[in-house]
Structure 1
Amino acid sequence: MSDSVTPAEPGSAPDLAELARVVARQRAEMDRLREQAATSAVVERAKGVVMALTGCSADAADETLLQRAKAARRTLLEECWITLGDPAPARSGAGGPGARSAADTRGAASGLPEAGPSVAPSAPDDVAAALARLGRALVHADSPRDLARCLLEHLAPDLGADSVMIYARRPGGGLELVGHAGIDERLAARWRQVPPFNGIAILDALRSGAPRWLEDFAEDSERYLLIGDPPERWRSRAWLPVPAGEGAEVCIGVLRGRSGVFTPRDRTHLEGVARLCAGRLRTFAVPARPAAAAHPDALRPLFEALPVAVMLLSPLRGPCGETTDFRVDAATAQAAAVLGGTGDDPVGRRLREYWPGLTDEPLWQGCLDALATGEPYEGRPFARHEVADGVTALSMYSVRVARLGDSLVVTWLRHASSDRQEQRLADLQRLGNLGWANWNLSTREVSWSSQVFAILDRDPADGPVRLADLPGLAVPEDRSALSHAVGGLAGEGLPFDVPFRVRTAHGVRHLRLVAEAVTDLRGTPVEVHGFVQDLTARRRAELALVESEQAILTQHDVLQAERTLVARLQNALLPLPRRAVNLAGLRVEVAYLPAQAGIHVGGDWFSAIELPDGDALFVVGDVAGHGIGAVATMAQLRFTAKGMVITGSSLTGALARLNTLLLHSRDTHGTATMVLARYDPGERRLVWAQAGHTPPLLLRDGEVTYLRRPSGMLLGASTAPRYEEAECRLQPGDRILLYTDGLVERPPESIDVGLGRLAEAVAARPDHATGSLGALLDAMLEGERRDDVCVLDIRLPGKPQGHDEP
C-alpha cells in the first residue's frame, strides 16, 4: 500500500477546526469586554479617590489623571492603578524592570506619595491608605444598601461606627432612607420617611452643605429630633452632605453607640469618605424626576394643542429648602389669557414675576399644599371679565392643582351658563345655611337639595321624608306646633314660618321651616315648596347675649355690695374728719384720695391724735403696692404705731419695732415708709423721725423750706436699721405739711421735680384760709391718679392782728 491522503468527509476535521476558530474569537471578545469593564471600573475608582482627597469634581478628577499619565509617559490605566496604590501591570512590549521603574518613580512624576494616592496636606498617611482601600471596595457596591454595608465594614474598626444610614432628599422636601447598615428592618421602616420639619440635623446638613457633628447627646437632643428607638442607642453622630456645598441631595449618617467627639483625624477621614461616595451615590441615590417633568420641552407641543387653560410648574426652592416660587415649564394660550391676557409668553418665567399678586391669592397656598401632600387642590369659582366680539361678558372659572412628580399641573375650567346658575344657587344655600325642599302632594314625589340633608344631619342614601312625616324629625317639645302648621298648609293651603329643633349627632340644632302651597283651580294644595334654614349659630348668639346681660346685672349687684363694704371698711380703718380739727393748739386739716384704679382703701394712711399728756401725735405712712395685702399691712402699722407711742415708746423705738414686725410677720406685706411727729404745745416743739419718707414742708413768713431729714431706713428693708430724731421749733403762723409720695410723683420724672412743684404751689397760696388744702390738691393733681394721696396740713395759729383765724 502506498501512503495517500483520503479526502475528508464533510463535517469531519475541517469543520472542527472552523468551530475551534469561532470559539477562540468568542473567547477573545469576551476577554476584551471583561478587560474593558475592569478598566472602566479601575478608572472610576481612581477618579473617586482623587475626588475624595482633593474635593474636585468628576471632570476635574478625570483631567488630573490624564495629565499625570501624560507627564509620566504612562497609560491612563497604569496611572489609575498607581493612584489606587497598586503596582501598575507591565505594558505589552515593556520589560518588567521598566514597568517597575515607572511604578517606583510615580511619586515624582505625579505628585503622589509612595504609600498611596494623592491626599490633602492635612490628611495623615493612614487616612489616605484607608480611603484607597475604600475606593477599591466601592467598585463592587451596586446599590445604596451595598454602599452602606461597605461603609460600615470600613468605618467600624477605625472610627467605632455602629450604623450607617443614607438619606436622599425627595421632591416634597422630605427625606427617604435609601440605604442602611447596622440597624434592623423595623427601625428602618419607622424612619424611612422623614418630613421636612425644622429641627432635623440631616436637613440642616443638606441646606448648609456642611457636616453636622452631633457629639453631646444631651445638648443635641434638645436641638434636634434624633433618629433612634430609643434615641440613646447612638450617643454621637455625624451627618455628611454629598456632595459638600450647596445643592447637596444625599446625606450619609455615621452613628456611634459611644459618646465622644470626632477628632480632627476622624473628621478628615469622614469628609474624605463623603467625597469618595459622591460618584457612586450620584448614579443610584439621587431622586429621579418623572420623564415628563424632567423634559418639559417634550410637553410643550402637547400643551399647545390642549383646548383648555393649563400650565406646568416646577418649584424653585430657597436655601432652606422651602418653595419660594414656581417656574412655568409649559402653558397653553388660554392659561396666559386667564392670568393676564397681556400676550406675553409665560413659559420659562417665574410665576410670581408673571403674576405679582399670586401670594395674596388662595391659589398660592393651594399650590404649596398640593406639592407637599400630593392631594389635589380645588379652588372656589371666581369671575373674570372677557371680551368676545367686542362685547364684555362675565365668565366664571374654577382652578385645580395636581402634583406630577416634583411638578404641578394647574388647570382652569370655564363654566357654562347653566353651571353658573347652579353655582349661584349653591352659593346662596351655603352662605345662607339653608336648602330648598319640594313636596308633590299628588304624585307623593319629594326632592331636597343636598344642603337640607346636611342641615338635618340625614344620610342622602335614606332619601327625603314626606311632608306629613317631617314633624317626626323635631324634638318632642316642638312636634305639636310643627304638625299643626303642616296640617294647615296641606289641608287649607296656609303658608307658615315655624321654628323647630332637631337632635343630631352634633347636638341640638335650631331650624326654621318656611313653606307655601301651590293650588289647583279648585284651591286644593297640590304641591308644597319651601326652604329649611339652620339658625343654630344665631340662636346660640342670642342665648349668649341673654346670659351676658344676666351676668352684667349680677355683677352690678356684686359691685354695689362691694362699694358699700369698701365704704364701711374705709370708715373703720381710716376714718376721715369732715372738717378741720384742733389738736394741742394746732389746726389740722386732712385729705385722703385713693388711687382712681382699684379699691377705695389703699396703702397710704395717717393718724392725728392728742396723747394723754396733752401732746399731739401725727403719723403719715405709705405701704408699697396696692390691693388687700397692702390694706392689711396699712391697718396693722397704723394701729400698732399709735399704740406704741401712747404706751410710752419713743419715736425711733417705735420705728425699730415696726421694722421688726414687717420682717418677721407673715401677715404683713412688703415694705413701707413712715414719718412720726410729736408736738409739745408748751414749748411749741415738734420732734419727728422718719423711715424712708419724703421730708415735711415748712411754710414760714411766706418762705417755703423742706425740713432736713434725720437718718432713717425704709421699714422692712434691713434687719439692723438706724433711726434718729430731729427737732423743729414752731412759730405762730407756721404751716407744716406731712404727705405721701402720691402728691409729688409723676413717673417718669424725678421726685425732686415734684417736690419743687409742691413748694411753688404752697408759696403761691400762703394764706391760712379754710379750704386752701383743696385748692392745693387741685393744683398738684392732674389726670388719673396712679397712687394714693394722703396729706396732713398742720398750722400753728398766728398772733391776733385785727382778726383771728377760725
Structure 2
Amino acid sequence: MLDISLLVRVHVDALIAAQNDLGVCDAIRRIAPVGKLAAMSSLHLPKVAGIDPTVPVSTHTAAPLTEVPAAPGAFIQDRLASWVSDLTTLHELTERLAGTRTLDDALHELLRAGAALVGARRGLLVLEPADGGGPSITIGLGLAHAELGSIETVPRSVTSYGRILDGRPDAEGPLTHRDLLGDKGLDPRHREVAARLGYAASYALPLATGTGGRLGAAVWLYDEPAEPLERQRHLVGLYSRYASEHLARLLELERARTEAALLAEELLPTRLPRVPGVRLAARRLAAARGGGDWYDALPLPDSALGLAVGSAGGTGPGALAAMGRLRAGLRAYAVMEGEDPVAVLSDLELLLRLTEPSGTATALFAYCEPAARRIVLSGAGHSPPLVTGERRTEFMETTLSAPLGMLACWEAPSVEFTPEPGETVLFYTDGLLRRTGDSMDRAFARLHSAAAGVPGAARHDPAAVADHVLGTMLPDGPDRSDGTEDVVVLAVYFE
C-alpha cells in the first residue's frame, strides 16, 4: 500500500513570469511539478503482516530534492497586495453603482467611476441603444453644457464614440487616441474643438451586453497626451461589463415606466373642466410598473361638478385596465345620478363585482355645487379629503366603509360640508401617504403639516398648493421609496 503525497516545487522565476497574465492560483497550476521531497518519495514498510515489503520504485519518480525551495520574494507579496487593492476598489465602485435606482444616476456614477479607474478628469457618455427604442441621453463629466455642445459639432464619424455607436468593425473594443493634437490625420474640426477645450488624448469604451447588444459609449479625456495602463484598462473593462448589465436593467425599467405613464395618460382626463366658482389642478406620479390610481373631474347638469379619486388594486397592465373600467363606469353613473354619491359608488361596487370578481378598489366621489360652495361626498375605503386655507387646515371625515369589492353590497351614508372662499380641498390617494415610508398616522400628520405650511402667496393657486404638498411630502422626488405606489392629488380651489 502506497502512502505517497506530492509536494509541488514551483520555480519562482517561472511564477513571476506567469503571474503578469494569470492569477497566482492559475500561474501555479500552469507550471508542472518538477520533483518531490526525498522524505515523501521514500518507501514505507507495510503496516499489515504478511505483505511483501519489497515495493518496486516507479520509473517516473523524479530524483529527490536536496533542499526546500525558498519562499516567494517581496515582489510576489507586492503584486498580491496590489491585486487585493484593485479588487477592493472594484467592489466599492460596483456597490455604489448597484445602489443607483434611476437611469440618470447610474449613467453619472458610471462616468465618474470610469474616470477614477483610467486616471482621467473629464469625459462624456452617450446612451443610444442599438435597438432604437431609446431613450437617447448624453451626459458629461467636467464639461459644461456649452462644451458638450461643441463636442457634438464634431462630425460623428471621426469621433471615437461615434465609431462605436455606428457599429464600425474597427470599434468593437476600446479605442485609444494617445495624442490627438499630434495626429496629422485628425479632422480639422475635431482638432479645433480639442484645442479650445484643452484635451489632448481620449480613451473610449463601448457599453454593451451579451443579450441586449450595444447600449452606448463612454469616452474619457486627458489634458495631456496619455493613455491608461494595462492594469487600468483591465479594471475599467471589468467594471464596464457589470455596469452595462446594470444599465440594461434600468433601461428596461425606464421604458416600462414610460409606457405605463403614456397608457395612464390616455386613460385619465386630457384636461380639467372650467367651471365658474372653482379652479382645478391635478398631479399624478406613476409607479415604476404602472399602478391603478386615478382621478376625474367632469361637468354635470345645473352647473355642478363631479370630482373623484380612486385606486384599483395591484400593479402593471391589469391595474391600468381595472382603472380604466372603474373611471369609465363612474363617469356614466355620475351623469345619471351624480347628486347622490352613495348611489354612484353602489353602482360602481356592482360593476366591480361583475367585471373583477376577485378585485378590490377604493374610491371617493364628491358632488360639488360651486356657486353654493357645497360638497356632498361619499367614500369607499378611501382617505378623507383635506381642506386648507388661511384660517384652517383639517380633514373632512367621511363615513367608515370597506373598499369596493369587499362587501356583498356596498352602502354608506354621505357627508356634506361647505368650503369657505379662498380654501382649497385636496383629494388624494393613499400612495401619497405610503411613499413617505412612515406609518399611516405619521403620514397623515405630515400631510396636515404640509398643507398648513403652504405660503400665503401660493394659497390662491391650486397647482401651487398641490406642488407644495408633493414637494414637502416627497422631498427627494417620486423615487423616495420603492416606487411601487402611484400618487394622485386633485386640488379644488373655491373662489
Larger radius of gyration: 1
Larger relative CO (CA 8 A, sep 6+): 1 or 2? Answer: 2
